[in-house]
Every structure is written in C-alpha cells, then in structure tokens.
C-alpha cells in the first residue's frame, strides 16, 4: 500500500512556525525551516556543519554529505563489476531571515548546526532524530513533507513569474539533472536571488 505524504500549505506552515516560536522549540524550528526553505533532506540537515556556512559564498550552506549516488562501475576480473558510489555535494542559498536565525542559534564551539545538549558534541544526530523532533513537537507532517513543501513553493513562484526552471529546481534539491539540464551552469547570484524572492 502506498503511503500518502502530508504536505503543509502556506498557512499551516506559518501557524506551525509561530507555535514553535511561542513554545521556544528553536531546534525543531530551525530543522523544519532547513527542510522547508532549503529543500534539505534529513541526512543533509543532521550533517550540516557550522564551518560550511558561508564557506564559498555569503549566505550559502555547503552540503558535503548529501545523497549517495552511483557514478558507474569498476570491473574486477573479466565479468564481475562493482558499483562506484560517491556523495553528491551542493551549496544551497539561505534566505536572509533564516540566515539571521541560524547565526543567533548556532554555537561557534560546536561542530554541527543542530548541536547536542549532551553526549559527544562532535557527533551529528542520526537522521531519525528529526522524525522524533517533528513528532514530539506535534508537527503535522513528516520530514519528507518538508522537501515537498519546498518544491511546491518554488514551482508556484516560478509559474507566477512565468519562468519555470526545472534545472535550477533539480540543482537546489540535489536531484540528478537530465541530459539537457546539464548543459551550462547556473550562477550563484541567480540561485540566491530566486530563493530570496520565494522565501522573503
């Protein structure tokens, strides 16, 4: 049986953010916004390092540990082939409001943006920790619903602006690009400008 993904609408998202602020649940608030406003997966969020914020561009978060993708095969002997995997890396723009919240939340002496209150502070949380955060704080959708929300908001803005750019969307979400989308490159200024307009 196929599982239905619950995707928040704009009003439901705003209401949830307001409630988390009132309840002072800032870690959940930050994780939620990274998923909904940056299109980040659970794996990316828990591995996001403080040192990777502004690493290459102002208001950019470099994602070093993202999705594992197959990059071909190597052959052992005459017939046996073994898949070659590597981590897909990318840089995601951070809108000004979320960037300001990150700057006020992070602790410079910690390694990860979502820091631990106890235990080994140099270890990231396991991805399922985000599921528990969502559930414990009565977030009405699951973590994957946040990525759907990001995609929907991006597509709504692109359609309104009459400039649908699926290559940009694939790049911002860390998806594999089609053959056509791989030609040329997308400038950092353009990516950041679009994110700023969508999530202003």
pLDDT one-digit tens code per residue, 39-49: 999 999 999 99
Q: What is the pLDDT of residues 126-150, one digit of tens each?
A: 999 999 999 999 999 999 999 999 9
Q: What is the pLDDT of residues 44-82, one digit of tens each?
A: 999 999 999 999 999 999 988 665 555 667 777 777 777
User: Is residue 193's pLDDT more than 90?
Assistant: yes
Torsion angle of C-alpha atoms 58, 69, 155, 186, degrees rounded to 10 = 50
Count Cβ neighbours within 10 Å for each residue of 125-136 and write b for 16 or more, e otherwise.
beeebbeebbee
Q: How far apart are CA 193 and CA 152, in angstroms?
A: 18
Q: What is the pLDDT of residues 77-115, one digit of tens each?
A: 777 777 765 556 789 999 999 999 999 999 888 899 999
Q: Is 13 helix (H, G, I), strand (E, B) or coil?
A: helix
Q: Is 23 helix (H, G, I), strand (E, B) or coil?
A: coil
Is residue 113 within 8 Å of 30, Cβ to Cβ? yes
The per-residue pLDDT for 11 is: 96
Per-residue confidence band for 156, with pLDDT thresholds at 50, 70 and 90: very high
Q: Is 41 helix (H, G, I), strand (E, B) or coil?
A: coil
Per-residue confidence band for 191, with pLDDT thresholds at 50, 70 and 90: very high
114 or 174: whose pLDDT is higher?
114
Q: Which range, of 66-70, 119-123, 169-173, averages the lowest pLDDT?
A: 66-70
H helices within the chain, ranges in order?
A: 10-22, 26-38, 42-47, 96-105, 128-136, 143-160, 166-173, 188-198
Nearest to 45 by CA among 118, 137, 143: 143
Domains of the chain, earliest start first: 10-198 (1.10.443.10)
Q: Which residues pair with 68 in a beta bridge?
A: 87
């Amino acid at each position: 049986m196929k599982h239905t993904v619950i995707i928040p609408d704009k009003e439901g998202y705003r209401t949830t953010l307001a409630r988390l602020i009132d309840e002072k649940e800032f870690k959940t608030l930050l994780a939620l916004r990274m998923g909904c406003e940056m299109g980040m997966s659970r794996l990316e969020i828990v591995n996001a390092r403080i040192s990777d914020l502004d690493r290459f561009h102002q208001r950019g978060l470099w994602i070093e540990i993202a999705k594992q993708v197959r990059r071909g095969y190597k052959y052992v002997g005459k017939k046996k082939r073994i898949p070659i995997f590597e981590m897909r890396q990318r840089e995601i723009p951070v809108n000004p409001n979320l960037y300001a919240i990150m700057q006020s939340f992070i602790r410079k002496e910690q390694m990860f943006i979502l820091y631990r209150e106890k235990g080994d502070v140099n270890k990231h949380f396991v991805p399922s920790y985000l599921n528990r955060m969502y559930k414990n704080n009565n977030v009405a959708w699951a973590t994957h619903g946040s990525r759907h929300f990001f995609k929907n908001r991006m597509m709504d803005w692109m359609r309104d602006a009459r400039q649908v750019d699926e290559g940009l969307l694939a790049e911002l979400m860390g998806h594999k690009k089609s053959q056509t989308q791989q030609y040329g490159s997308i400038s950092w200024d353009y990516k950041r400008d679009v994110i700023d307009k969508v999530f202003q």
